Structure 1
Amino acid sequence: MDKLRLFCIPYAGGTAAVFYKWKTLLDERIELIPIELSGKGSRSHEPLYNTIEEAVDDIYAKIKEQISNGSYVLFGHSLGALLAYALTVKIRDENVNMPEHLFFSGLGSPFVKRKNKNKTAGLNDKDFIRSVIKLGGTPAGFFDEPDLCKIFLPLLRNDFRLAMTDFAGQKPIPFNCNISILLGKNETISHKAAKAWEDCTTKLFKLHYFKGGHFFINEDLEELIKIINNDILVSNEEMNN
Structure 2
Amino acid sequence: MPSLPQLLCLPPAGTGPSLYHPWRSRHTDCVETIAVSLPGREGRICEPLPDSLSTLADRLADELASRTKQRYAMFGYSMGALLAYEVVRRWIDLGLPGPDVLFILGCNPPDRMLEKRDEFHPLESEKFWKAIADLGGTPTELLDMPEALEFFEPVVRNDFRICETYQHVPGAPLACPAHVFVAENDLLVDKETALSWRNFVSGDVTVHTVPGLHMLERQALDAMLDRVLTLWRCR
TM-score (norm 2): 0.91
Structure 1 partner of 2:20: 19
- Of residues 74-83 and 208-217 in structure 1, the stretch that sits farther from structure 2 once superposed is 208-217
Q: In the alignment, does 2:176 pair up with 1:180?
A: no
Where does structure 1 lack aligned partners over 5 or more consecutive residues? none
Structure 2: distance between partners of 1:217 and 1:64: 31
Counterpart Cα distance in 2 of 1:219 and 1:119: 29
Moved more, 30-39 or 220-229: 220-229
Deviation, structure 1 residue 116: 3.3
CA–CA distance in 1 between the matches of 2:221 and 2:57?
Answer: 27
* 1:44-193 correspondence to structure 2 within 5 Å: 44-67=45-68, 69-112=69-112, 114-167=114-167, 171=170, 173-188=172-187, 189-193=189-193
1:115 CA displacement: 4.4
Equivalent position amino acid for 2:93 in 1: D
Do 1:26 and 1:229's aligned partners in 2 also have CA atoms closer than 8 Å? no
CA contact (8 A) 2:119 2:164 kept: yes
Q: Secondary structure at the match of 2:121?
A: helix
2:32 match = 31
Structure 1 residues 214 and 147: CA distance shift in structure 2, 3 A: same
- C-alpha spacing 1:115/1:222, structure 2 compared with 1 (3 Å): closer
Q: CA deviation at 1:91?
A: 1.2
Q: Give 3-state SS (helix, strand or coil) of 1:135's partner.
A: coil
CA distance in 2, matches of 1:107, 1:26: 26
Q: Deviations over 1:92-120 (max 9, x none)?
A: 11211211111111012122374434411
Letter of the 1:79 counterpart: M
Structure 2 residue runs of 5 or longer lacking an equivalent are none
Q: Distance in 2 between matches of 1:88 and 1:158?
A: 22
Runs (4+) of structure 1 exceeding 4 A deviation are none
Residues 161, 55 of structure 1: alpha-carbon distance in 2 compared, 3 angstrom cutoff: same
Q: Give, in whole Å, the separation in 2 of the partners of 1:57 and 1:222.
A: 29
Q: 1:79–1:162: 8 Å Cα contact kept in structure 2?
A: no
Distance 2:217 2:229 in 1: 14
Identity of aligned residues (%): 24
Change in 2 beyond 3 A, CA 1:213/1:26:
farther
Shift of 1:24: 4.1
User: C-alpha deviations, 1:168-195, integer Å up to 9, x for none?
Assistant: 6x65521111211111011132333111
Instruction: Write the letter of the residue equivalent to 1:226.
Output: D
Given the superposition, is the C-alpha separation of residues 208 and 22 from structure 1 closer, same or farther in structure 2, using an over 3 Å criterion?
Answer: same
Paired residues in the alignment total 233
Which residue type is aligned with residue 107 of structure 1? C
Task: Give the match for residue 218 of structure 1.
Answer: 218
Q: What is aligned with 1:42?
A: 43
Q: Is 1:117–1:164's contact at 8 Å kept on the other side of the alignment?
A: no
**Does the CA-based 8 Å contact 2:76-2:104 persist in structure 1?**
yes
Amino acid at match of 1:47: P
CA contact (8 A) 2:105 2:181 kept: yes
Counterpart-to-counterpart distance in 2, 1:122 and 1:145:
21
Q: CA deviation at 1:167?
A: 4.5
Q: In 2, distance between residues paired with 1:217 and 1:99?
A: 27
Distance 2:221 2:28 in 1: 14
Go from structure 1 to structure 2 and tell me whether the alpha carbon gap of 1:172 and 1:104 turns closer, same or farther (over 3 Å shift): farther
Post-superposition offset of 1:55: 0.6
